[in-house]
Amino acid sequence: MGPTSTGIGNRKLGMWTFIGSECMLFGTLIATFLIYRGRNVVGPYPRELLNIPFITVTTFVLLMSSLMMVLALAAVQRDDMRGAKIWLFMTGFLGLIFLGGQVFEFNHFVHEGLPLSRNLFSSTFFVLTGTHGAHVAGGALWMGTMFTHAAQGKLDSNHSETVEIAGLYWHFVDVVWIVLFTLIYLLE
């Protein structure tokens, strides 16, 4: 990396700028969800369908994936590539488990008579959590790519910024879920 006027790598600053813009994207989706909350004129209503214990488990899985990610970065920085491969794999794997939980939840809602266009809750819920899920899917794909690079010997401590940038994205997806878990499920 060459010197920059800010002293920060351009790719890293770019990722943080992207994350700042993503805050605004999720801000508008969260605002829409909150505005339309409690204004359903037809059921089923969220209280009848939301499964708090199940979502708590998937939330825990996503939180632990963040731990795996930060351990992967620490391993790359000390050139422990065996550890890096394990933690990168686990990050993506836990992300996929979270996604599986989301698919299960969506499927359950649809079977209970709550498709996307049923009422205001379903429209805002599916769009908001679906957008987050798409971000998780993109992150899991990114983890898979980095794991493949690590397995091929193309990743070492000289590429730690690459892993750090992917980690920033993954942790952002995690903090967004921290907010969504509280606002959608617990403050319902």
Per CB under 8 A, residues contacting other proteins are 6-8, 12-13, 16-17, 19-24, 26-28, 30-32, 34-35, 37, 52-53, 56, 59-60, 63-64, 66-67, 69-71, 74, 77-78, 160, 164, 167-168, 171-172, 174-175, 178-179, 181-182, 186-187
In the numeric block, the tokens 């920085």 are attached to 77
C-beta of residue 33 within 8 angstroms of C-beta of residue 182: no
Least distance (Å) from other proteins to the CB of residue 102? 17
Q: In this structure, are residues 165 and 12 in contact, taking their beta carbons and an 8 Å threshold?
A: yes
In the complex with other proteins, the residue whose CB is nearer, 106 or 181, is 181
Q: How far is the CB of 79 from other proteins (least distance, A)?
A: 10
Smallest gap, in angstroms, from Cβ of residue 152 to other proteins?
Answer: 24
Query: What is the amino acid identity at position 60?
Result: F
Q: SS3 of 124, please? A: helix
Rounded to whole angstroms, the Cα distance separating 98 from 100 reads: 5
For other proteins, the closer CB: 13 or 151: 13
Instruction: Quote the CA–CA distance of 102 and 49 in Å, as a whole number.
Output: 14
